[in-house]
């Protein structure tokens, strides 16, 4: 059996965990010992949580800059969720509410939402604004995650 390594963020404490995806047993956080969610579902974070994840992740991180009142953000949410789940372990998906984290949004030059930024090794490598159909979003993300 082939064992693949994947990375997941603990919803309880925010720690990043490398997981052997052998399919055996329940994965738990190495930091707080809570069960890890291996679904790949995007996680809500504040600015500090986003920064910690960006600085520590060894896999690409997708950040969805959004706000609850934004219609296109709500329309994009199921697309982001589906694509993030399809890439579970290969990337970490985060959602940053720009209303609650104005300074962080401003520091990345967010002027319109939704805006999606892919980070690798803590640095932005791709950026896209506006809601997209799932196939377009998945293609953009695949291209952004291609390290070549």
Q: Is residue 81 part of a domain?
A: yes
Any catalytic annotation for residue 29?
no
The total number of structural domains that make up the chain: 1
Q: Is residue 4 part of a domain?
A: no
Question: What is the chain's mean pLDDT, rounded?
Answer: 92
pLDDT of residue 23: 54
Q: Is residue 11 part of a domain?
A: no
Q: Which residue among 13, 29, 32, 73 is the active-site one?
A: 73
Measuring CA to CA, how many Å separate 121 from each of 23, 78, 87, 135, 140? Answer: 28, 26, 18, 26, 19
Q: Is residue 60 part of a domain?
A: yes
Any catalytic annotation for residue 73?
yes
**Mapped to the 3 state alphabet, what secondary structure does 39-84 carry?**
CCCCEEECHHHHHHHHHHCCCCEEEEEECCCCHHHHHHHHHHHHHH
pLDDT of residue 147: 67
Measuring CA to CA, how many Å separate 84 from each of 99, 104, 106, 119? Answer: 23, 22, 24, 14
Q: Is residue 75 part of a domain?
A: yes
pLDDT per residue as tens digits for the range 54-111: 999 999 999 999 999 999 999 999 999 999 999 999 999 999 999 999 999 999 999 9
Q: Is residue 19 part of a domain?
A: no
Query: Which structural domain, as residue segments, surrounds residue 73?
Result: 40-145
Q: Is residue 2 part of a domain?
A: no
pLDDT of residue 21: 63
Q: Which residue among 13, 29, 32, 70 is the active-site one?
A: 70
Task: Kindly report the pTM of this predicted structure.
Answer: 0.92
Q: Is residue 35 part of a domain?
A: no
Give the CATH number of the domain where residue 63 resides.
3.40.30.10
């Amino acid at each position: 059996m082939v064992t693949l390594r994947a990375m997941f963020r603990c919803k309880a404490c925010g720690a990043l965990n490398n997981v052997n995806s052998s399919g055996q047993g329940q994965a738990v956080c190495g930091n707080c010992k809570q069960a890890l969610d291996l679904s790949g579902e995007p996680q809500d974070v504040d600015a500090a949580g986003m920064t910690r994840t960006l600085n520590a992740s060894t896999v690409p991180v997708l950040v969805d800059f959004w706000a609850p009142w934004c219609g296109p953000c709500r329309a994009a949410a199921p697309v982001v969720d589906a694509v993030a789940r399809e890439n579970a372990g290969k990337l970490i998906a985060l959602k940053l509410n720009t209303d609650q984290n104005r300074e962080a949004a401003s520091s990345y030059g967010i002027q319109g939402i939704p805006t999606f930024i892919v980070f690798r090794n803590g640095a932005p490598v791709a950026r896209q604004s506006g809601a997209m159909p799932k196939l377009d979003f998945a293609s953009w993300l695949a291209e952004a995650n291609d390290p070549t």
